[in-house]
Amino acid sequence: MHADVLVVGTGIAGLSYAVRLAESSPKVKICMISKRDLLESNTKYAQGGIAVVSNFFLDSYEDHVQDTMKASGNTSNKTVVDFVVREGPARVKELMAWGAQFDTKGSKLHLGKEGGHSAKRIVHHKDQSGLQIQNALIAKARSLQNITFFENHSLVDLITDHHIPNTKQGRCYGAYVISKRDEEIVKITAQLTVLSTGGAGQVYAHTTNPTAATGDGLGAAYRAKVHIENLHFVQFHPTALFPKIDGNTFLISEAIRGAGAVLRNFKGEAFMTQYDTRKDLAPRDIVSRAIHSEMKKSNQAHVYLDATHIDIKILEQEFPTILTNCHKAGIDIIKDFIPVLPAAHYICGGIDVDEHGQSNLQGLYAIGECSHTGLHGANRLASNSLLEALVFASRAAKHSAVKLADEILSTSFFERIPNWSGTEDISNQKTVQIHELRASLQRIMSAHVGIVKSGESLQKAEEELHKVYVATKELYQQNKLTPQLTTLRNLVSVAYLMIKQSQKYPQNKGVYFNEDYV
Ligand code: SIN
């Protein structure tokens, strides 16, 4: 298969990139790969919304910039923060023109508040903002003739010089992908490749991310020697529902704390007053560490979130998903406290990119959560991720249009790229082994590379992960590739990078906390 542009990942970043490029350049053929169906992505589960300045009487670009810098402990790249914040309103307008609907109050957008924000500025659709955006973008993308979709295909490897005899251009030429149904490996060549593969929360046992969030883009980029930065900055969301529902950890949006919900320990104390003057709406790193400390003190696996004093009409109108999911777990949030614990939520680092989303490998862009733009620094401000995805997708799409007009590789060159070659079939027993290895990796990361780390815990994690790595390598060398095996390989690479980058980081900043440095 050949496309002008191959986009791997169909969340807000990949879809908005494809829509913008397809509309501005109708002759450009875009191929989109989705690991599950088109809807399933981290975006779908985003509850809060998009942080964007829209009420210029009560808010300003300067305040949003300052809040972002403050949440990151002044480690964000100020230039990037500045242009993302200022370009945000136009991107949200565009998204609305493409069909996304957000809650309104009178003629204005209804704005929510989240931790670390000095003003109400979260544009949202109830507590289903991501789902609303995802559905609108899918409908828009499907209406464009020059975008084709391959659902249920996972990324195996990026195609680089290494795959092509006598080639040294330092470029990316597309990717090998594997189909879920018949486990066939397909070669998709492309002038430009865009990674928008989202997060990697699945390296942890408790994560708000869906099961497909396994860092596939990061793993493939690492093998292609692309620069990856700041993977030690893993953001834990303070409030995920305890216990899991159907094996998944459900997010309790920060917006509910914005509406007045209060964290309580087992004694019923509203403990955040002891940790930060902003109390329950302090930035996430502070709230997560406070919960971690309360859980340790009480020797319990969770704390509580109390929403019982919030007007029932507000709960029903603004938080229907939270109401329903808590109900499924037997919790009536109108009367009961919600048991919550922090869970891996967002990776602030990723594939290092410039202001157009370009990586150091020519022809390869990265946008959305898998990228490292400099916006988040050591700690992402709540609801800045969808904003970043929209702004960088738009910039990358504009840049791609220029690139495609300027630099084209010939058809005969692409014909030289070999197909993937595989070996024998995998047995059922090996499939069980893959599941076990994935579970061990998650246990290692949660036990030793969580909210609070130490030199000793990181060393332990490295040693234990090495065993998983050796077993995975053996499986990889001796068996036909399957989607489960490629996924495990990516999880191992991401976990390894997280541990190595954590070991090198010399101070406590943002979400990175090493008790040896206290
Ligand atoms: C939330 O709704 O609390 C999540 C929003 C985000 O992660 O930015």
Q: Are 255 and 320 in contact (CB under 8 A)?
A: no
How buried is residue 385: exposed, middle or buried, by Cβ count under 10 Å (0-12/13-18/19+)? buried
Q: What is the DSSP string of 135-196?
A: HHHHHHHHT-TTEEEE-SEEEEEEEEGGGSTT----BEEEEEEEETTT--EEEEEEEEEEE-
Place of tokens 């093998």: 223
Q: Are 51 and 121 in contact (CB under 8 A)?
A: yes
**How many angstroms does the Cα of residue 253 sit away from the middle of ligand 1?**
6
Report the pocket of ligand 1 as residue ranges, CB < 6 Å: 46-48, 253-255, 346, 382-383, 385
Tell me 74's DSSP state: S
Which atom from ligand 1 is nearest to the alpha carbon of 385? Answer: 8
Q: Are 264 and 337 in contact (CB under 8 A)?
A: yes
Which atom from ligand 1 is nearest to the alpha carbon of 114? Answer: 3
Superfamily designation of domain 2-232+352-414 = FAD/NAD(P)-binding domain (3.50.50.60)
Q: Note the pLDDT of residue 245.
A: 86
Q: Pick the catalytic residue: 264, 284, 380, 395? A: 284
Out of 125, 126, 253, mutate this one to test ligand 1's pocket (max ligand atoms within 8 Å of CB): namely 253
Q: In terms of DSSP H, where are the helices of 358-423?
A: 384-406, 411-415
Q: How many of the other CB atoms lie within 10 Å of CB of 278?
A: 15
Whose C-alpha lies nearest to ligand 1, atom 4?
48
Out of 52, 122, 256, 383, mutate this one to test ligand 1's pocket (max ligand atoms within 8 Å of CB): namely 383
**How many angstroms does the Cα of residue 251 sit away from the middle of ligand 1?**
8
Q: Note the pLDDT of residue 161.
A: 96
Q: Kindly list the distances between the CA atom of residue 417 and the CA atoms of 1, 96, 165, 167, 175, in Å, as whole numbers in the listed order.
A: 11, 41, 8, 10, 11
Domain ranges for the chain, please list them.
2-232+352-414, 234-345, 428-510
**How many angstroms does the Cα of residue 56 sit away from the middle of ligand 1?**
23
- Amino acid of residue 8: V
Q: Is pTM, for the whole model, over 0.85?
A: yes
Active site residue 284: yes
Which atom from ligand 1 is nearest to the alpha carbon of 382? Answer: 8
**How many angstroms does the Cα of residue 208 sit away from the middle of ligand 1?**
10
Rounded (10°) angle between helices 78-97 and 384-406? 90
Q: Note the pLDDT of residue 404.
A: 96
Q: Are 413 and 205 in contact (CB under 8 A)?
A: no
- For the 234-345 domain, the top CATH level (class) is alpha beta
- Amino acid of residue 511: V
**How many angstroms does the Cα of residue 48 sit away from the middle of ligand 1?**
5
Tens-digit pLDDT profile for the chain (518 aa)? 999 999 999 999 999 999 999 999 999 999 999 999 999 999 999 999 999 999 999 999 999 999 999 999 999 999 999 999 999 999 999 999 999 999 999 999 999 999 999 999 999 999 999 999 999 999 999 999 999 999 999 999 999 999 999 999 999 999 999 999 998 999 999 999 999 999 999 999 999 999 999 999 999 999 999 999 999 999 999 999 998 888 889 999 999 999 999 999 999 999 999 999 999 999 999 999 999 999 999 999 999 999 999 999 999 999 999 999 999 999 999 999 999 999 999 999 999 999 999 999 999 999 999 999 999 999 999 999 999 999 999 999 999 999 999 878 999 999 999 998 765 555 666 788 999 999 999 999 999 999 999 999 999 999 999 999 999 999 988 888 899 999 999 999 999 999 999 999 999 999 999 999 99
The beta-strand segments (E) located in 274-369 are 303-306, 338-347, 350-352, 364-366
Q: Which CATH number fits the domain 428-510, given the four candidates 3.40.50.1100, 3.40.50.300, 3.40.50.40, 1.20.58.100?
A: 1.20.58.100
Q: Note the pLDDT of residue 429.
A: 64
Which atom from ligand 1 is nearest to the alpha carbon of 129? Answer: 2
